[in-house]
């Protein structure tokens, strides 16, 4: 099966075909189909005569930089199939081939071709191969997600997918400060988000309640700020050592997820000030806080030690972070005067590029001139967007995280166990029905770096809590970030999501059975 260039272009421009009748809601597993993938691929061309069946003798071929991606694929398919699926440099026929070659679909794009004789994923870079592998997983029946060997027909539907992301930044955020989440819980979240081609994980590492990352030059930040009882309502505690952090970064990188660390300043710093009272203006230690109020703590813009602290933290964090971004927070500094906020921002934002990183900050940083060289994260849907528009006009990139659509800690409805509702309740459809490229008038599509779904953890403790709020809404955001606008279609999304339910069940993911979806 070869598509001409014109045909490929047409396929890329065509919205997804209507779901086949077999995907209509109903009992029992739904056969996988090229049109069923989440997030929707840019272009699909099914070929009903070209299905491939995985069997005992199937091999995975890959060499060089493709080999580690092939190992991930083998790890994913071996448990449920019970097949050996060896990774070998080359083979003739009956193979899943991962090939690094420029297919003209960018750094993260890929071409997937399924023919009777074998499957080929081609991409310019390993990230594209990994994205193709995530698609491939969804083309096998849901039994593929089981941890033990299953009897199933391991058929991959025939045809071709040409795919590439709409936005470079497709993020999730996890708050480790309000409740510390152990590295194993973060890894579990990375496994889940990377299936939907989310490629950034922003870690909120400090807040009023706790400090969650080791900083050698200010050791009490973690010995005091990460002690037991520093979670909301005094639960939990803990922090990432530098080794923990580095191994999380490697784990994420193996799944093409880049970590974005955040230290929140000049507000949300009570835990740091409990550990180091010299970081307050009057030098008096505040009491530890385990409630969920915001906006009462502030670094002292008039003291030099503030900037020594900020620089030490930025330097150490930058040194252990290979990714391009370092987030300095900047939100809800309600007890910092506007003048002090500007003084602080103009001094601290430029420290980030000095240590080789691009500064990122919540929307409030847009008030500073220095924000023009930063990534501004839009979050408060009720505020005047003027400063964000001005920053974007001056050159800033914008990540869209509108609280009333993208905040995973908002309840689905008022009966949702856990979650907050200050920005309203967000059902799945509301999480899906918006356009990041058109959200803020005055911020053109070219200024939009991408999207991010924050998950604040005031009400969450374990992975089950995380998953219940993240899934299925994070998939809506993943599709807004990955899929071309032409594919946007609630009824298609709804059907594909419903068909994904059996996969989550097999993976033991605690997802919310939204009444808006017909779960199969
Ligand atoms: C607002 S969003 C905050 C966080 C809270 C969150 C709860 C933002 C930049 N700041 O401090 O955890 O609301 O939804």
DSSP 414: T
d(C-alpha 67, C-alpha 88), whole Å: 9
**Does 427 sit in the ligand 1 pocket, CB within 6 Å?**
no
How many angstroms is it from 343 CA to the middle of ligand 1?
23
**Does 409 sit in the ligand 1 pocket, CB within 6 Å?**
yes
Partner residues linked to 123 by β-bridges: 100
**Does 185 sit in the ligand 1 pocket, CB within 6 Å?**
no
Reduce the DSSP state of residue 120 to 3 states and report it.
strand
**Which tokens go with 471?**
């899934």
Ligand 1 atom nearest to CA at 178? 12
Task: Give tens-digit pLDDT for 415-463.
Answer: 999 999 999 999 999 999 999 999 999 999 999 999 999 999 999 999 9
How many other C-beta atoms lie within 10 A of the C-beta of residue 141? 20
Q: Is the pLDDT of residue 466 over 50?
A: yes
DSSP 113: E
**Residue 31 has what pLDDT?**
62
C-alpha Rg value of the chain to the nearest Å: 23
d(C-alpha 146, C-alpha 150), whole Å: 7
How many angstroms is it from 268 CA to the middle of ligand 1?
10
Q: Are 53 and 118 in contact (CB under 8 A)?
A: no
**Nearest alpha carbon, ligand 1 atom 10:** 331
| Mutation choice for ligand 1 from 331, 362, 399, 407, CB with most ligand atoms inside 8 A | 331
How many angstroms is it from 294 CA to the middle of ligand 1?
8
Q: Is the pLDDT of residue 186 over 50?
A: yes
**Nearest alpha carbon, ligand 1 atom 7:** 456
**Residue 12 has what pLDDT?**
39
Ligand 1 atom nearest to CA at 409? 14
Record the pTM. Answer: 0.94
CA distances from 165 to 40, 249, 485, 510 (A): 10, 23, 11, 27
Of the listed ranges 16-30, 75-89, 116-130, the least confidently predicted one is 16-30
Task: Give tens-digit pLDDT for 20-40.
Answer: 333 344 444 446 899 999 999
Q: Which residues contact 74 (CB under 8 A, 6 or more apart)?
A: 60, 85, 86, 87
**Residue 18 has what pLDDT?**
33
How many angstroms is it from 454 CA to the middle of ligand 1?
9
How many angstroms is it from 147 CA to the middle of ligand 1?
37
Burial of 384 (0-12, 13-18, 19+ CB in 10 A): exposed
Residues with a catalytic annotation lie at 332
**Which tokens go with 366?**
């847009």
**Residue 32 has what pLDDT?**
82
**Nearest alpha carbon, ligand 1 atom 2:** 379
**Which tokens go with 144?**
């593929």
**Nearest alpha carbon, ligand 1 atom 11:** 294
Average pLDDT for residues 225-239, to the nearest whole number? 96
State percent of the chain over pLDDT 90. 93
Q: Are 447 and 392 in contact (CB under 8 A)?
A: yes
């Amino acid at each position: 099966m070869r598509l001409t260039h014109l045909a490929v272009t047409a396929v890329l421009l065509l919205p997804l075909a209507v779901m086949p009748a077999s995907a209509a809601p109903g009992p029992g597993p739904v056969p996988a189909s090229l049109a069923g993938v989440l997030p929707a691929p840019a272009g699909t061309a099914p070929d009903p005569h070209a299905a491939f069946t995985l069997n005992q003798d199937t091999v995975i071929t890959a060499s060089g930089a493709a080999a580690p991606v092939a190992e991930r694929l083998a790890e994913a398919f071996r448990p449920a199939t019970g097949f050996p699926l060896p990774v070998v440099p080359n083979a003739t026929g009956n193979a899943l081939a991962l090939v690094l070659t420029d297919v003209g679909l960018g750094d993260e794009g890929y071409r997937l071709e399924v023919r009777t004789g074998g499957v080929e994923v081609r991409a310019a870079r390993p990230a594209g191969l990994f994205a193709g592998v995530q698609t491939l997983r969804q083309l096998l029946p849901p039994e593929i997600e089981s941890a033990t060997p299953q009897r199933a027909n391991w058929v991959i539907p025939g045809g071709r997918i040409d795919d590439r992301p709409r936005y470079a930044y497709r993020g999730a955020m996890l708050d480790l400060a309000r409740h510390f989440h152990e590295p194993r819980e973060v890894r579990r979240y990375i496994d889940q988000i990377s299936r939907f081609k989310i490629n950034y994980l922003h870690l909120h590492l400090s807040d009023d309640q706790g400090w969650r990352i080791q900083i050698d030059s200010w050791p009490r930040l973690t010995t005091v700020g990460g002690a037991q009882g520093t979670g909301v309502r005094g639960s939990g505690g803990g922090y990432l050592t530098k080794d923990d952090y580095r191994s999380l970064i490697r784990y994420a990188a193996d799944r093409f997820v880049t970590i974005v660390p955040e230290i929140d300043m000049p507000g949300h710093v009570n835990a740091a000030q409990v550990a180091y009272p010299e970081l307050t203006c009057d030098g008096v230690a505040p009491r530890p806080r385990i409630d969920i109020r915001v906006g009462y703590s502030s670094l002292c813009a008039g003291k030099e030690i503030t900037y020594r602290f900020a620089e030490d933290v930025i330097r150490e964090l930058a040194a252990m972070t290979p990714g391009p971004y370092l987030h300095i927070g900047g939100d809800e500094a309600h007890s910092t005067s506007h003048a002090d906020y500007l003084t602080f921002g103009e001094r601290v934002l430029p420290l980030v590029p000095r240590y080789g990183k691009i500064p990122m900050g919540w929307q409030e940083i847009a008030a500073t001139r220095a924000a023009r060289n930063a990534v501004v994260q839009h979050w408060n849907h009720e505020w005047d967007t003027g400063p964000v528009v001005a920053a974007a006009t001056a050159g800033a990139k914008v990540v869209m995280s509108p609280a009333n659509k993208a905040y995973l800690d908002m309840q689905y409805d008022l009966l949702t166990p856990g979650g907050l509702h200050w920005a309203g309740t967000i059902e799945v459809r509301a999480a899906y029905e918006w356009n990041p490229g058109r959200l803020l008038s005055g911020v053109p599509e070219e200024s939009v770096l991408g999207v991010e779904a924050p998950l604040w953890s005031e009400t969450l403790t374990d992975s089950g809590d995380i998953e219940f709020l993240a899934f299925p809404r994070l998939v809506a955001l993943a599709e807004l970030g990955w899929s071309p606008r032409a594919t946007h279609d609630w009824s298609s999304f709804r059907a594909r999501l419903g068909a994904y339910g059996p996969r989550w069940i097999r993976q033991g993911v605690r997802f919310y059975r939204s009444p808006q979806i017909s779960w199969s």
